C-alpha cells in the first residue's frame, strides 16, 4: 500500500470484511467485488475467536492473493503470521505498538494504524514507521469516540506528510467525492454489507 511520491494518484479502494461473518458467506461477495473493482487491500476485523478468524484469514487470503490484493487483520499479529497475511491494522496508534508489530512481522509487512481524529496520533504513528494511517469516522457512525475527522485534517496531512492516509467510517458518495483529492485510500465495509447486493451498492459509492 505504498503511494508513489512522483505524481498524484487517484485514491484506491480498501475493503473491510463484515464483522463476525462466516467465511463461506463472505467468499462469493468478495469474489464479485474483486472481479468488478480494483481493490488495493482487504482488512479483516479482529472480533471473534481465533478459530473463526483463522478460517476467515485463509478464505480471504486465498481469493485476495490470487488477485494480487493485500490482506491485513486488525490487531492479531500471530494470526497474520500463521495464516500468511500481509500485515496488521492496529487500533492503538502508539509508537510502541507499531514498533512491536514491525519487529514481529518484519520490514516487508504492512503495519497500519487507526488514529481516530487526532493529527498528533497520526504523526506519532508515522514517525514510528506505520505504512499508512487511518482517520475517521468522517460521518456519524459507531466508530471511535463519535468525534468526526474533519476534511481539513485530510487536506493538511496530504500536503504535509508522505505516509499514505485512509478515510473510513460513514462514507457516502458525496464524502468520497469531497475527500478524493486529499485521500489515498477509502476503507469501505459496513456501508455495503447489509445490502442485498454489496457489489451493486459499492458501485453507487465507487465509480
The CATH number for 130's domain is 3.20.20.70
In a domain, 157, yes or no: yes
If pLDDT is split at 50, 70 and 90, which confidence band does 80 have? very high
Please count the structural domains in the chain: 1
H or E stretch covering 35: helix 23-36
- Provide mean pLDDT across the span 43-60: 95
Q: How far apart are CA 182 and CA 150, in angstroms?
A: 12
β-pair partners for 89 = 74, 112
Span of 46-50, 105-109, 149-153 with lowest mean pLDDT:
46-50
Of 127, 114, 201, residue with least CA distance to 163? 127
- Provide mean pLDDT across the span 5-23: 83
In a domain, 4, yes or no: no
Q: How far apart are CA 77 and CA 88, in angstroms?
A: 6
In a domain, 179, yes or no: yes
In a domain, 177, yes or no: yes
Quote the Cα angle for 44-37-187, to 5°. 40
If pLDDT is split at 50, 70 and 90, which confidence band does 48 have? confident
In a domain, 6, yes or no: no
Domain that holds residue 165: 12-205
Percent of the chain with pLDDT over 70: 94
In a domain, 76, yes or no: yes
In a domain, 2, yes or no: no
Is the pLDDT at 86 greater than 90, yes or no? yes
Which are the contacts of 129, defined by CB distance < 8 A and separation ≥ 6? Answer: 98, 99, 102, 111
- Strands, DSSP E only, in 76-194? 87-90, 110-114, 132-135, 165-168, 185-188
If pLDDT is split at 50, 70 and 90, which confidence band does 143 have? low
CA distances from 138 to 14, 102, 105, 111, 120 (A): 15, 28, 30, 22, 17
Q: How far apart are CA 30 and CA 63, in angstroms?
A: 8
Note the pTM of the prediction, 2 decimals. 0.93
In a domain, 7, yes or no: no
Amino acid at each position: 500500500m505504498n503511494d508513489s511520491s512522483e505524481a498524484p494518484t487517484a485514491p484506491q479502494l480498501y475493503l473491510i470484511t463484515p464483522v463476525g461473518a462466516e467465511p463461506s458467506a463472505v467468499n462469493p461477495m468478495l469474489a464479485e467485488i474483486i472481479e468488478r473493482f480494483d481493490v488495493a487491500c482487504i482488512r479483516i476485523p479482529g472480533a471473534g475467536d481465533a478459530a473463526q478468524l483463522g478460517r476467515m484469514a485463509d478464505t480471504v487470503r486465498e481469493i485476495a492473493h490470487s488477485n494480487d490484493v493485500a490482506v491485513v487483520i486488525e490487531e492479531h499479529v500471530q494470526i497474520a503470521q500463521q495464516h500468511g497475511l500481509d500485515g496488521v491494522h492496529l487500533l492503538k496508534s502508539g509508537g510502541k505498538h507499531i514498533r512491536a508489530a514491525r519487529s514481529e512481522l518484519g520490514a516487508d509487512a504492512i503495519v497500519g494504524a487507526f488514529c481516530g481524529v487526532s493529527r498528533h496520533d497520526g504523526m506519532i504513528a508515522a514517525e514510528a514507521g506505520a505504512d499508512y494511517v487511518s482517520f475517521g469516522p468522517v460521518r456519524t457512525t459507531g466508530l471511535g469516540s463519535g468525534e468526526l475527522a474533519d476534511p481539513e485534517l485530510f487536506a493538511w496531512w496530504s500536503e504535509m506528510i508522505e505516509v499514505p492516509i485512509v478515510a473510513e467510517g460513514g462514507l457516502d458518495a458525496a464524502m468520497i467525492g469531497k475527500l478524493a483529492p486529499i485521500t489515498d485510500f477509502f476503507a469501505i465495509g459496513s456501508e455495503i454489507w447489509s445490502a442485498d447486493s454489496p457489489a451493486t451498492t459499492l458501485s453507487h459509492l465507487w465509480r
